[in-house]
Structure 1
C-alpha cells in the first residue's frame, strides 16, 4: 500500500461520514500532527493535542476568521466588506482574546441566560409541534429544509426578538451561508466577492432593525437584547452589535444547530434500533443527544494562531502559523473513547466531548442546541414513529472544510 502524503491529500470536504472518520483514524495512528499545504496550517487530530491547543495561552483565536482562506481575503472582497462592517477590523467574540473576549462573552451570556432558556423551551416545543403538523399530511420530506433549518432559525430569531423576521426566512439562509463560507471553505476571488456582498446585505438588514429600535423603542425582546448589549458594562457599539447578531446569534445559533439536527436524524435512522430504543424509552433522549454530538460533530474543526515558537509532536511550530484543530477527530480518539466509531449512548468513563470546545471558549449556545435536539427527537419519535431513511439515506454532503454539512436528508414514513 502506497504511503499517503497527508500534507497534500487530506481534504475532509470530500468525505462522507464513514470515509472521514476512517481516514482520521489512520492519521491519528500514522501522523497525528502534520503540516497541510491545502490549509496552509498544521493539523491537530488527537484528543490530548486538541485539548492542549484550545486551552493554552500560546494559541489564540485571533486571525481565525481569515484562516480558512489560505491566502487571506482578496482585495476586492475586502473592498466589499468595507461597505458594511469588516469583521477583521471590528472587535467581536470570534476574534478577540483577553478583555475583548470577556466583554463580548459577558454580553452574550447576559442575553442567553438560564432563565431565558427556560422561557424559550415552550416556544421550541410549539415550533417543533407545528413543523410536525406540516409533515403529517405527507409521507416524505427533506429533513434539512423542511425541519432542521426552519426550527433552528426560528428558535434563534425568537430568542433575540426578531419575531417579524419570519417573513424574510427565504433570504436569511443565503445570507448566513455566504457569511460563514469565509470561515468554512476556501474560495477563489470571485466567490469571495459574491459572499462578501451577501454578508454586507445581511449586515444592512440587521442594522436597519437595530436602528429602528434605537430610534423608536418598543417593550419587546429585541429592544431588551439591544439594551443589554449597549449598556454597562458591555457597551457594544452598533457595529459590534451587528457582528454579534450576524455571526454569533443568527449565524452560529442557527447554522450549527441545523447541522446537528440533521446529523442526529441520519444516525438515529441509519440504524433504526436506536430510533426504536428511544420510542420504547424516551428517557434515553439526553444521552443520545450527547452521543450523537460526539459521534458526528457539526463543527469538524476550528483554527488557532501560534503566538510563540513552540514544539508539538516533534515539529517546530513557528509564531504566526495556524493550527487547524479537529474537534471531531478528538471525539473519535480511541485512546480516550472506547469503541469510538459506534453510537453508544452510555459512556460512563469517557472524557467530555470536544464538540462545543472547552474552557473560556466553550460554546455559549450549547444548552439551546441540545434543547432543540432533545425536543425534536422526543416529538418526532412519538408522532412519526415509522420515520426512516428514504432510498437508503438520500444523503448529500456539501463540500465544506469546517462544518459537516448535510445539504439534504430524504426521509419517509407510513
Structure 2
C-alpha cells in the first residue's frame, strides 16, 4: 500500500436499509444505501448540471460526471493516472491489512492499474490472447454452453436467472480460456465473489477478515496454476502468459493478470446479462429480434451498466469547471453518469433499442485502458441473449419479487432475479 494515498472511500458503512427513493435528494454518494446502485440518476443529473466536478466526502474523491470530462480524463493518463487506482485495500481495517500483508497492494502490477511504459508492455503481452480470431473461436463454445444449460433447465419452467443462467456459461468459458480445470470452477467462482465483497463492497471488520483469508487462498491457487503451466504448458491463456515470465513479464504480473481476468468472466459479464434481461422484460421487449441484438446489448450497457466508473489519481493540479483538483487527489470517473448525459444521449432515461449512438457509452473505459476483453464480453452478451430468446421466448419476471442490487462502490449487479417461462 502506498501510504501517500488517501484513505478512500472513507468510513464505508457495513450496510443499511435506506430506501432507493432517498437518492434524488441526496447531497453525497452513499455506497451503503440502495439508491447508490439502484437509482442514482436524479442525483447524478443534479451533479452534471450544478456541480460537474464534485468533491464527495463519502468517497474521499473528486467525481467527474459529464460525458466530455469523463471521456477526456480516460484519454489523458498524463493528468489522470491509473497507477494504484485499483488498490482499494486502502479502505480496509488495519487488522485486515495486516492479514493481507504484501497482498494488500494486490493489482499493483495489473495492466489497468499502471501507466506507460509499464502499461504498454503488459498490454502488448495480454493482447496476444485477444485477437479477433481467438475471440471469434470462443463464440461457438459459449453458444454450446448456453444450449447445454437450457437443455437441463428448460423443463423446470423457472429459475434464478443470476445464479442458474447468467453465471454458469461465463464461468465455464472463462475457466476454459484461462486453463482452470472443470473440477475447480466452483472453487474459483466462490472466491471471486469473496474478492468483490472484500475490495469493492462495504464490509464490517469481522467479515473483512473472513474474506481476506478467502482472497489469500484464491491467490495461492492462481500462483500454483501458473507454476504448473510453466512446468507443463497447455493450450490456454495461463500457459501463454507463463511462457513470458523472465522475458516480458514477472511471475507476480502473470498471477495478477490471471486473477483479474477471471473476475470479469465470473462476475462482470453475468452481472451485465442480469441487468439486461431485467431491463428488457420491464420494457416488454423480450425476446429481442436477432437483427436488433447487437445494438440492444449496447443500449443495455449504456442504461444499466455493470460498471459505474473507474478511479484515477490527479498527477498535477487540475482546474476543471472552476474547481481545482489538487495533485494526488483520488478521482472517480463516473461512466454511469456519462452514459446518462443528455447532451450526448437524448432522453437518456428512455430505453431505445434503436439508439444510433448506444455504443458511445464508456462502460469499457476509453483510451489506452479500454478493456482488453471488451470484444469477448460483447460476444458473450450477444450470444446469451440470442440463445435465451430462441429457447425461452416466453421468459418473464416472476411477479411481486423484490429487486435488489449488491451494494458496491463501482459495480451494478442483482442479488437474484426470478424468471419463469
Q: What is the TM-score when the length of structure 1 is the normalising length? A: 0.89
Q: Partners in 1 of 2:241 and 2:357 — Cα distance?
A: 43
Q: Partners in 2 of 1:312 and 1:187 — Cα distance?
A: 34
**Alignment coverage as a number of residue pairs:** 397
Q: Give the direction of change, closer, same or farther, for the CA distance of 1:172–1:219 in structure 2 (3 Å limit).
A: closer
Number of the residue aligned with 1:296: 304
**1:131 positional shift:** 1.3
SS class of match (1:334): coil
Number of the residue aligned with 1:253: 265
Structure 2 residue 314 is matched with structure 1 residue 306 = yes
Residue 270 (structure 1) aligned to one of 261, 278, 282: 282
Structure 2 residue 221 is matched with structure 1 residue 205 = yes
Q: Give the direction of change, closer, same or farther, for the CA distance of 1:388–1:350 in structure 2 (3 Å limit).
A: closer
Residue 99 (structure 2) aligned to one of 77, 80, 90: 80
**1:302 positional shift:** 1.0
Structure 2 residue 261 is matched with structure 1 residue 242 = no
SS class of match (1:373): helix
Q: Give the direction of change, closer, same or farther, for the CA distance of 1:381–1:187 in structure 2 (3 Å limit).
A: same
On the 8 A contact 1:336/1:350 being kept in 2, the answer is no
In the TM superposition, 1:225-236 aligns within 5 A as: 225-230=240-245, 232=247, 235-236=248-249
Structure 2 residue 86 is matched with structure 1 residue 65 = yes
Q: Partners in 1 of 2:240 and 2:120 — Cα distance?
A: 18
Structure 1 regions of 5+ residues with no counterpart? none
On the 8 A contact 1:12/1:20 being kept in 2, the answer is no
**1:258 positional shift:** 1.2
Residue 31 (structure 1) aligned to one of 51, 55, 59: 51
Structure 1 segments of 4 or more deviating over 4 A? 9-13
Q: Give the direction of change, closer, same or farther, for the CA distance of 1:253–1:201 in structure 2 (3 Å limit).
A: same
Residue 167 (structure 2) aligned to one of 146, 149, 155: 149
> Bigger CA drift: 116-125 or 341-350?
341-350
CA RMSD of aligned residues (A): 2.3
SS class of match (1:308): coil
On the 8 A contact 2:302/2:359 being kept in 1, the answer is no
In the TM superposition, 1:347-362 aligns within 5 A as: 347-348=355-356, 352-362=360-370
On the 8 A contact 1:148/1:262 being kept in 2, the answer is yes
Number of the residue aligned with 2:235: 220
Number of the residue aligned with 1:325: 333
SS class of match (1:42): strand
Q: Partners in 2 of 1:35 and 1:223 — Cα distance?
A: 41
**1:299 positional shift:** 0.6
> Bigger CA drift: 172-181 or 41-50?
172-181
**1:254 positional shift:** 2.6
> Bigger CA drift: 21-30 or 151-160?
21-30
Structure 2 regions of 5+ residues with no counterpart? 1-23
Q: Partners in 2 of 1:15 and 1:208 — Cα distance?
A: 41
In the TM superposition, 1:170-181 aligns within 5 A as: 170-181=186-197
SS class of match (1:230): coil
Q: What are the superposed Cα offsets for residues 184-237 of structure 1, whole Å, 9 maximum, x if unpaired? A: 22444434333221111001111122222223x1443256424454374xx222
Q: What is the TM-score when the length of structure 2 is the normalising length? A: 0.87
**1:51 positional shift:** 1.4
Q: Partners in 2 of 1:196 and 1:46 — Cα distance?
A: 36
